[in-house]
Structure 1
Amino acid sequence: MFDYLIVGAGFAGSVLAERLARGAGKRVLLVDKRMHIGGNAYDFYNEHGILVHRYGPHIFHTNSAEVFDYLSRFTAWREYQHRVKASVDGMLVPIPINLDTVNQLYGLQLDPAGMKEFLAQVAEPVSPLVTSEDVVVSGMGRELYEKFFRGYTRKQWGLDPSELDAQVTARVPLRVNRDCRYFTDSFQAMPFAGYTRMFENMLDHPNIKLMLNVDFREIGGQVKYQEIIFTGPVDEYFDHRFGKLPYRSLEFRHETHHRPDFQGHAVINYPNDYAFTRVTEFKYLTGQVHPSTSVVYEYPKAEGDPYYPIPRPANADLYRRYKELAAATEGVHFVGRLATYKYYNMDQVVAQALQLFGRLTGLKRQEATSLRS
Structure 2
Amino acid sequence: MFNYIIVGAGLAGAVMAERIANILDEKVLVIERRNHIGGNCYDEIDKTGIIIHKYGPHIFHTNYRDVFKYLSKFTEWREYQHYVLGFIDGKLAPLPFNLNTLHKLLPESLAKPLEKKLLKKYNYGERIPILKLLEEDDRDLKFLANYIYEKVFLNYTIKQWALKPDEIDGKVTERVPILLSRDNRYFQDHYQAVPQEGYTKMIQKILDHENIKIMLNTSHQEILKIKNNKILFMDREYKGKLIFTGKIDELFNYRYGRLPYRSLNFKFETLDQKWYQPAATINYPNDYDFTRITEFKHIHPTSTKKTTILKEYPQEHIEGKNEPCYPIPTKENQKTYKKYEKLAGKHENLILLGRLAEYHYYNMDEIVKKALTTFKKEIK
Deviation at residue 283 of structure 1 after TM alignment? 0.9
Say whether the 8 Å CA contact 1:279–1:297 is kept in structure 2. Answer: yes
Say whether the 8 Å CA contact 2:223–2:234 is kept in structure 1. Answer: yes
Residues 155 and 136 (structure 1), Cα distance of their counterparts in 2 relative to 1, 3 Å cut:
farther
SS in 2 for 1:2: coil
Mean CA deviation greater in 110-119 or 78-87:
110-119
Alignment of 1:240-259 (within 5 A): 240-259=254-273
2:141 — aligned with what? none
Mean CA deviation greater in 86-95 or 241-250:
241-250
1:267 — aligned with what? 281
Deviation at residue 329 of structure 1 after TM alignment? 1.6
1:371 — aligned with what? none
**For 1:207-230, what per-residue CA distance to the aligned partner results, in whole angstroms no more than 9, with x for missing partners?**
000110111221345498622110
**For 1:6-62, what per-residue CA distance to the aligned partner results, in whole angstroms no more than 9, with x for missing partners?**
000001000000110012101011111000000000000112322100000000001
Alignment of 1:71-82 (within 5 A): 71-82=71-82
Q: 1:279 aligns with which of 293, 297, 314?
A: 293
Distance 1:188 1:138 in 2: 33
Residues 343 and 234 (structure 1), Cα distance of their counterparts in 2 relative to 1, 3 Å cut:
same
Residues 136 and 87 (structure 1), Cα distance of their counterparts in 2 relative to 1, 3 Å cut:
farther
SS in 2 for 1:145: helix
Say whether the 8 Å CA contact 2:159–2:291 is kept in structure 1. Answer: yes
2:187 — aligned with what? 183
> Are 1:336 and 2:354 matched, yes or no?
yes
Deviation at residue 323 of structure 1 after TM alignment? 1.1
Deviation at residue 291 of structure 1 after TM alignment? 1.5
**For 1:178-237, what per-residue CA distance to the aligned partner results, in whole angstroms no more than 9, with x for missing partners?**
101111111100001100000111111000001101112213454986221100011111
Gap regions ≥5 residues in structure 2? 122-127, 137-143, 225-232
Distance 1:116 1:33 in 2: 54
> Are 1:294 and 2:308 matched, yes or no?
yes
Residues 163 and 360 (structure 1), Cα distance of their counterparts in 2 relative to 1, 3 Å cut:
closer
Alignment of 1:1-40 (within 5 A): 1-40=1-40
Deviation at residue 78 of structure 1 after TM alignment? 0.4
1:152 — aligned with what? 156
Distance 1:99 1:51 in 2: 33
| Pairwise CA RMSD | 2.1
1:164 — aligned with what? 168
Report percent identity of matched pairs: 48
Say whether the 8 Å CA contact 1:260–1:293 is kept in structure 2. Answer: yes
**For 1:337-371, what per-residue CA distance to the aligned partner results, in whole angstroms no more than 9, with x for missing partners?**
11101011001100111111112344xxxxxxxxx
Residues 73 and 133 (structure 1), Cα distance of their counterparts in 2 relative to 1, 3 Å cut:
closer
Deviation at residue 110 of structure 1 after TM alignment? 8.6
Distance 1:46 1:56 in 2: 14
Q: Which amino acid aligns with 2:91?
A: M
**For 1:105-153, what per-residue CA distance to the aligned partner results, in whole angstroms no more than 9, with x for missing partners?**
11328999961515889xxxxxxx9xx9734523751112111110100
2:199 — aligned with what? 195
Mean CA deviation greater in 158-167 or 311-320:
158-167
Q: Which amino acid aligns with 1:137?
A: L
Distance 2:220 2:245 in 1: 11
Q: Which amino acid aligns with 1:158?
A: A
Say whether the 8 Å CA contact 2:245–2:356 is kept in structure 1. Answer: yes
Residues 235 and 252 (structure 1), Cα distance of their counterparts in 2 relative to 1, 3 Å cut:
same
Distance 1:202 1:8 in 2: 14
Alignment of 1:75-90 (within 5 A): 75-90=75-90
Say whether the 8 Å CA contact 1:133–1:166 is kept in structure 2. Answer: no
TM-score by length of 2: 0.88
Q: Which amino acid aligns with 1:308?
A: Y
**For 1:241-285, what per-residue CA distance to the aligned partner results, in whole angstroms no more than 9, with x for missing partners?**
111111111110011112110112100000000000000000111
Q: Which amino acid aligns with 1:134?
A: L
Q: Which amino acid aligns with 1:93?
A: A
Mean CA deviation greater in 319-328 or 31-40:
319-328
Say whether the 8 Å CA contact 2:284–2:291 is kept in structure 1. Answer: yes
Mean CA deviation greater in 243-252 or 53-62:
243-252
Mean CA deviation greater in 163-172 or 248-257:
163-172
SS in 1 for 2:3: strand
Q: 1:174 aligns with which of 174, 178, 183?
A: 178
SS in 1 for 2:178: coil
Say whether the 8 Å CA contact 1:147–1:271 is kept in structure 2. Answer: yes
Residues 133 and 314 (structure 1), Cα distance of their counterparts in 2 relative to 1, 3 Å cut:
farther
Deviation at residue 176 of structure 1 after TM alignment? 2.1
Distance 1:262 1:287 in 2: 13
Mean CA deviation greater in 109-118 or 169-178:
109-118
**For 1:302-361, what per-residue CA distance to the aligned partner results, in whole angstroms no more than 9, with x for missing partners?**
123211111111111111111111112221111011110101100110011111111234
Distance 1:160 1:344 in 2: 21
Distance 2:7 2:118 in 1: 51
